[in-house]
Amino acid sequence: MKCRPRMSRWSLALACCAALGGCVVAPARPPQPAPRVEVVPVAPVPGYHWVRGHYRWNGYRWVWVRGHWVP
């Protein structure tokens, strides 16, 4: 008669948890929305240029970053 080692239910459950512990399922990122229409204000100082508004992914959702003037 052969003697086979048996795993208890607890050790089997623990082995399964350890094997699946590294699995991470991230939700699919939704597509980026259409850009918003912005009215470009007058430059505060000559020589500044306008950076258009855009969407930025913050890890959970798309966030609108308003357009702004930069030197």
Measured in whole angstroms, how far is the alpha carbon of residue 35 from the centre of its chain?
19
**Residue 1 counted as domain residue:** no
**Residue 44 counted as domain residue:** yes
pLDDT the model gives residue 31: 95
**Residue 35 counted as domain residue:** yes
Containing structural domain, residue 63:
9-70
Question: Per residue in 10-64, pLDDT tens?
Answer: 776 766 666 666 666 767 889 999 999 999 999 999 999 999 999 999 999 999 9
Give yes or no for a contact between 65 and 53, defined as CB atoms under 8 angstroms apart. Answer: yes
How many domains does the structure of the chain reveal? 1
Nearest to 48 by CA among 67, 21, 35: 67
pLDDT the model gives residue 25: 73
**Residue 4 counted as domain residue:** no
Give yes or no for a contact between 46 and 69, defined as CB atoms under 8 angstroms apart. Answer: no
Q: Indicate the pTM of the whole model.
A: 0.57
Nearest to 35 by CA among 57, 51, 52: 52
Q: Cα dist. 59→14, 25, 30, 45 in Å?
A: 31, 14, 11, 35
pLDDT the model gives residue 22: 65
Question: Per residue in 20-34, pLDDT tens?
Answer: 666 667 678 899 999
